[in-house]
Structure 1
Amino acid sequence: MSMWSNLPFDLLANIFSFLSPDSLARARSACRNWNACALNYPLGPRYAAQSHPPWFLALPIRNHRPCCYAQNPAMAMGKDNWHEISLEFLSVPVRPVAPVESLLLLRVTNSITLQLAICNPFTRQFRYLPRLNISRTNPAVGITVMDSNSFRIYVAGGMSEAGQGGAFYEPTTELYDSKLDTWKIVGSVPVEFAVRLTVWTPNESVYTKGVLYWITSARAYSVIGFELCTNAWFELGVPMADRLEFATLVRRNEVVTLVGGTSGGNACIWELNEGSIWCLLDTVPSELGSRFLQGKTNWGSTKCVGNDNAICLYRDLGSGMVIWREDGDEGRWEWFWAEGCHYIKGKQVQNNPIRGILIHPSLASSFIFD
């Protein structure tokens, strides 16, 4: 231990950068020297995309206690793989929008118009983002991460007040740049798309190769795309659009991916190839699908979240999850079952509907809170 205690901080911090967040937390508790090193030399964690799968963060939709629950995938087969994380540091009620690297983008729910905030639930850091130029109710939100020190948020559509004319669908797009910490209007939205982005589109978006994508459930499922460089909007059809009971867009290996299921059928995964052609990648194995649905044939209550490293199908906090993720050095994607959260340290946890987020936790400080 004496040799490790005498290592220069920059070398020790470089070693710490390879640790997963739970291992780093234990290292920080070993001694004052290690804790000071981890706090003062916060190198970006290198495990995120290469060595460790993302954590599943479950945020209860209805919960009287300010907390969320995190599953450590490295301990997925053990009994202690779920952890309760206090959110008492949040001064307002919030709803998750999307991960931003190791941070969470949040919507403040006690505000009728959109007010965004950002936090790190593992380090208890929180701040509001500036107000938009136009007050909007229920717009679509998209995120692009430029690098570890920069991200952008696009807000499109939503309901807006028009003075004496009353409320209307806002046909503009606004951009938040984290480097400038300001919003600006960057383009227009066709009125038809503004309506669908406001009424029929969830917050989830997918960004890849210069385009933001949202899925919309108006009449039948379809995809709305926004080319950032040209400010051009377009629409794509999806497979079995009028038969899907649930459909979610995720990004897998930097490619737009669709996950959806039909009544009496399988849950399928399609990939958007060149020429805007959907290609079937895989289906949920029948034994895992039956276990997930608990004998039912209806996929309607299914929720899905994904990133470049994993795709997770879930329902509520206590239900088990079906996970498709990259496993091993050869880049093969394999199916796994993960138990839901029932007990934490021997104490029963109340089941709740949840919103799931896949995130690579970090204990390093972020520029956004400086």
Structure 2
Amino acid sequence: MKPSFSIATTSSTSLPMDPRIWRNLPQGLLDRVLAFLPPPSFFRARAVCKRWYSLLFSDSFLESHLLLSPPLHWFLFFTHPTTTNTTTTTTVTTTISSPSSTAFLFNPDDNTWYRLSFSTLIPPNFSPAASSGGLLCWISNDAGLKTLILCNPLSKLVSHLPPTPRPRLFPSVGLTVGDSSFSAVIAGDDLISPFAVKNLTAETFHADGLTGFYSPWATASSLPRLCNLESGLMLFVSGRFYCMNYSPFSVLSYDVAGNDWSKIQAPMRRFLRCPSLVEFSGRLVLVAAVEKSKLNVPRSLRLWLLQPCGRAWAELDRMPSEVYRQFSEAEAGHGFECVGHGHFLAITIKATSDILLFDSRRKVWWWAPPCPFSRDRRGLRGFAYEPRLATPSVGLIESPSISFHAFTS
């Protein structure tokens, strides 16, 4: 099934290749060449002939794609949902609107935008919550028992996890996906009583096709005291899930193997604004604006790297003063969010659709070109996304035993 890719890019001229070269290539070698194509190019190439069209359903080709295709450090953006409060005589009800069913896929290597539609894949009243390994995780918006949906927007494969055993309101969600395993975590207020002090707990869902381990929604240990998980986002780095804790700022860490939560103090926590956790090439980085009244500490946006000890931070980089001046004018105190992928950082401004990008390898900051598919000037919410034609581990939801054919047919 072909996804609805729409493309906006700058055309480039190249010398045509002699068609006789392609005609004489062995079929196996030709498949290896196609396995290296990025997904948008692959789906355009499928229109060439019936055989190329059928490659998406070929186990051998998808195995080659998983082994040979280079990792793509792209971003997926959704229009930020709006929040409304409804007041009655006794209660105040908070409603979060569902985001648009259209997502905007961005390639920071060449500033190219694509459009993906989820309208036929995801039911109403679900919101994107996490991403990993080519899968996007959606969570039900209604308070109560939560349902997660894992979706590969390219292959159109969708799988529902069973509902959580405990009701929750606005939990944080974490997801890590490998070729033969995945783990999901939901953490937050378990809504035992609307009048009680928050009872913060977490539940985990593990499945590993190689070992046969399958544990649906086991209750994890309680979270530390004085937790406030407002961001709703978790990151998985080196065997641990991390999320921001607010009031006061700190970082919560969940050791998956040890089933244990701990709290890490944030750097300069009294002077941070809009802190976010991002992943840079397998490392955890905290990004935040620093606003201190003393003149010897200028306002800036800084990046701190969590050290191998897991408790201390070291400043990794900071935004140049001229770039920070432009960013401050665009942001105007409305707030911002950050998402990292590979060596790229994307900063989205909540009040506008502007996106500021940073390449940590080249130490370059630049503004992303406007998305040609979005007419909504509301802010965008970003997710790290690696487009993959095949995501075998999604088949573990239906059966703990692995069958590659079941994942792709």
TM-score, normalised relative to structure 2: 0.75
Q: Which one of 311, 314, 333 corresponds to residue 279 of structure 1?
A: 314
CA shift for structure 1 position 239: 1.4
The equivalent of 2:173 in structure 1 is: 141
CA distance in 2, matches of 1:350, 1:138: 25
Q: Which one of 142, 157, 160 corresponds to residue 191 of structure 2?
A: 160
CA distance in 2, matches of 1:235, 1:215: 10
Paired residue type of 1:355: R
CA distance in 2, matches of 1:210, 1:149: 16
Please state if 1:17 is matched with 2:48: no
CA distance in 1, matches of 2:201, 2:353: 40
Please state if 1:235 is matched with 2:263: yes
CA distance in 2, matches of 1:21, 1:317: 31
Paired residue type of 2:221: S
Please state if 1:34 is matched with 2:52: yes
Deviations 1:251-301 (A, max 9, x none): 223222110002471110000113422111111122322333336664x51
Paired residue type of 2:35: S
The equivalent of 2:221 in structure 1 is: 188
Deviates more, 1:34-43 or 1:309-318: 309-318
Paired residue type of 1:305: V
CA shift for structure 1 position 360: 1.3
CA shift for structure 1 position 190: 4.4
Unaligned stretches of 5+ in structure 2? Answer: 1-18, 82-97, 292-297, 396-406
Would the alpha carbon gap of residues 10 and 135 (structure 1) be closer, same or farther in structure 2, given more than 3 Å must change?
farther
The equivalent of 2:343 in structure 1 is: 309
Percent sequence identity over matched residues? 23
Deviations 1:7-62 (A, max 9, x none): 5554333222222112212222222222222431212164443xx4x222111134
Please state if 1:294 is matched with 2:329: yes
Unaligned stretches of 5+ in structure 1? Answer: 327-331
The equivalent of 2:74 in structure 1 is: 55
CA distance in 2, matches of 1:64, 1:211: 29
CA distance in 2, matches of 1:170, 1:297: 36
CA distance in 2, matches of 1:296, 1:365: 37
Please state if 1:222 is matched with 2:250: yes
The equivalent of 1:125 in structure 2 is: 157
CA distance in 2, matches of 1:230, 1:151: 17
CA shift for structure 1 position 364: 2.9
The equivalent of 2:103 in structure 1 is: 68
The aligned runs of 1:72-151 (5 Å cut-off) are 72-76=107-111, 81-89=112-120, 90-110=122-142, 112-145=144-177, 147-151=178-182
Paired residue type of 1:183: P
Paired residue type of 1:239: P
The equivalent of 1:329 in structure 2 is: none
CA distance in 2, matches of 1:236, 1:64: 32
8 A Cα contact 1:130 1:181, kept in partner:
no
The equivalent of 2:274 in structure 1 is: 246
8 A Cα contact 1:322 1:335, kept in partner:
no
Please state if 1:351 is matched with 2:351: no
CA distance in 2, matches of 1:322, 1:189: 37
Would the alpha carbon gap of residues 178 and 281 (structure 1) be closer, same or farther in structure 2, given more than 3 Å must change?
same
Deviations 1:214-253 (A, max 9, x none): 11112x2111122222223221111121211110111223
CA shift for structure 1 position 306: 1.0
Please state if 1:205 is matched with 2:234: yes
CA distance in 2, matches of 1:8, 1:186: 53
CA distance in 1, matches of 2:394, 2:338: 28
Would the alpha carbon gap of residues 336 and 18 (structure 1) be closer, same or farther in structure 2, given more than 3 Å must change?
farther
Deviations 1:299-333 (A, max 9, x none): x511101133321111159543222235xxxxx34
CA shift for structure 1 position 64: 7.8
Would the alpha carbon gap of residues 109 and 14 (structure 1) be closer, same or farther in structure 2, given more than 3 Å must change?
same
The equivalent of 2:394 in structure 1 is: 368
Aligned length: 346
CA RMSD of aligned residues (A): 2.9
CA shift for structure 1 position 170: 4.2
CA distance in 1, matches of 2:242, 2:99: 34
User: What secondary structure sits across from 2:335 in the alignment?
Assistant: coil
Paired residue type of 2:128: P
CA distance in 1, matches of 2:376, 2:170: 30
Specify the structure having the higher radius of gyration (Cα): 2
CA distance in 1, matches of 2:140, 2:169: 12
CA distance in 2, matches of 1:206, 1:84: 25
Q: Which one of 49, 61, 66 corresponds to residue 44 of structure 1?
A: 66
CA shift for structure 1 position 83: 2.5
TM-score, normalised relative to structure 1: 0.82
